Amino acid sequence: MTGAQEQTYDVVVLGAGSTGENVADVAVRGGLTAVLVENELVGGECSYWACMPSKTLLRGTEVLTEARAVDGAAQAVTGEQDVVATLARRDSFTSHWDDSGQVTWVHGAGIDLIRGTGRLTGERTVVVDTEDGEVRLTARHAVAVCTGSEAAVPPVDGLDAIDAWTPREATSAKEPPGRLLILGGGYVGCEMATAWQALGSQVTLFQRGETLLDGLEPAAAEAVTASLRARGVEVRLGCEITAARRDGAEVVATTSTGELRGDELLVAVGRRARTRDIGLETVGLEPASYLDVDATLQVLGRPWLYAVGDVNGRRQLTHMGKYQARQAGAAIVARARGEEVDTSDWSPFVATADEYATPSVVFTIPQVASVGRTAAAAEEAGLPHRVVQIPLKVAGSSVFADDYDGTAIMVVDTEREVLIGVTFIGPGVAEMLQAATIAVVGEVPISRLWHAVPAYPTMNEIWLRLLESYRG
> What share of the chain has pLDDT > 70, as a percent?
99
* pTM of the model as a whole: 0.95
The DSSP letter of residue 351 is -
Which tens digit of pLDDT belongs to each residue from 223-256?
999 999 999 999 999 999 999 999 999 999 999 9
Q: In sequence order, what are the residues at sequence separation of 6 or more whose Cβ sits closer than 8 angstroms to the Cβ of residue 239?
A: 206, 207, 208, 255, 256, 257
pLDDT at 26 over 50: yes
What is the residue type of 220?
A
- For residue 176, pLDDT beyond 50: yes
Tens of pLDDT, residue by residue over 126-155, are: 999 999 999 999 999 999 999 999 999 999
d(CA 463, CA 471): 12
Which positions ≥6 away from 283 have C-beta within 8 Å? Answer: 120, 122, 123, 302, 305
Q: Do 366-471 and 151-269 have the same topology in CATH?
A: no
Domain range summary for the chain, segments of one domain joined by +: 5-43+99-149+272-353, 151-269, 366-471
Report CA 22 to chain centroid distance, whole Å.
16
As beta bridge partners, residue 387 has 411
Q: Do 181 and 262 meet the contact criterion of CB atoms below 8 Å apart?
A: yes
Question: pLDDT per residue over 319-359, tens digit each?
Answer: 999 999 999 999 999 999 999 999 999 999 999 999 999 99
- Give dist(CA 333, CA 204) in Å, integer: 49
Helix, strand, or coil here: 371?
strand
Superfamily designation of domain 366-471: FAD/NAD-linked reductase, C-terminal dimerisation domain (3.30.390.30)
Q: What is the pLDDT of residues 263-293, one digit of tens each?
A: 999 999 999 999 999 999 999 999 999 999 9
Mean pLDDT value of segment 48-62: 97
E strands of 65-186, at which residues? Answer: 112-115, 117-122, 125-130, 133-145, 149-151, 179-183
CB environment 222-255: b (16+ within 10 A), e (fewer) = ebbbebbeebebebbbebebeebeeeeeebbbbb
At residue 275, φ and ψ (nearest 5 deg) are: -130, 15
Residue 3 pLDDT greater than 60, yes or no: no
String of DSSP letters for 447-466: HHHTT-PPPTTSGGGHHHHH
Distance of CA 250 to the CA centre of its chain: 31
Residue 2 has pLDDT above 80, yes or no: no
Domain 5-43+99-149+272-353, CATH homologous superfamily name and number? FAD/NAD(P)-binding domain (3.50.50.60)
Q: Does the pLDDT value for residue 369 go beyond 80?
A: yes
pLDDT tens digits for range 425-438: 999 999 999 999 99
Residue 472 confidence (pLDDT): 84
State pLDDT tens for residues 70-106. Answer: 999 999 999 999 999 999 999 999 999 999 999 999 9
Q: How much is the pLDDT for 1? A: 41
What are 107-130's pLDDT values in tens digits? 999 999 999 999 999 999 999 999
- CATH superfamily of the domain spanning 151-269: FAD/NAD(P)-binding domain (3.50.50.60)
Which backbone phi and psi does 374 adopt, to 5 degrees? -80, 170
